[in-house]
Chain A
């Protein structure tokens, strides 16, 4: 158990809908990362937050957004969902959000768009 929690574990929704994925980092970690894992694209970095502020942005679509709250939990919002958004979404956390930090991954949320 990495100490990172993600909810829900599974999510099934229809095209065009909007969903919110939730992540609680390990106790004491200030930085949260979001990743998307799909069959054809592998594991891709989406976005990173550190202590409530966006720190780095990767291959995140404009339909997707995220935030980190004062209690350090984070949410990833996915809107206008398409079939291709079906994937595993992982959250990871690290203490200071630097390249030296080990990232600890949560168990993921499986999103299925029908």
Chain B
């Protein structure tokens, strides 16, 4: 498949572990945040979003935490599976605007 980046920070975990992927966002005015997953050879895929009036949101096996004080976002994946191996991007946006600003991405490698 296509390589999306050779110089990304990489997180290597064992199957079944919990994974935490971090992201520092750039604009203190951003009020909407999204995590995307990009598998090799594919386009980004929406995972979960959070608005700035929340500091935590849970989905199926995923949790996003938002710390506006330090402009930090994290994605927690519970019971990580080999199928979770991908590059994960955070994206920020201003409500009222439709454009997204993406972070650099983190590669997650899950070993069976």
Contacts and interface: CB of A to CB of B under 8 A. Distances in A.
Interface string B1-17: 01011110000000000
Interface residues of A, number: 30
Given A39-B6, A99-B32, A110-B2, A56 B99 contact: yes
Contacts, number: 64
Given A4-B43, A43-B89, A107-B43, A97 B2 contact: no
A103 B100 contact: yes
A92 B89 CA distance: 15
B98 A101 contact: yes
A88 interface: yes
Interface of A: 2, 4, 31, 33, 37, 39, 42-45, 48, 55-56, 58, 88, 90, 92, 94, 97-99, 101-108, 110
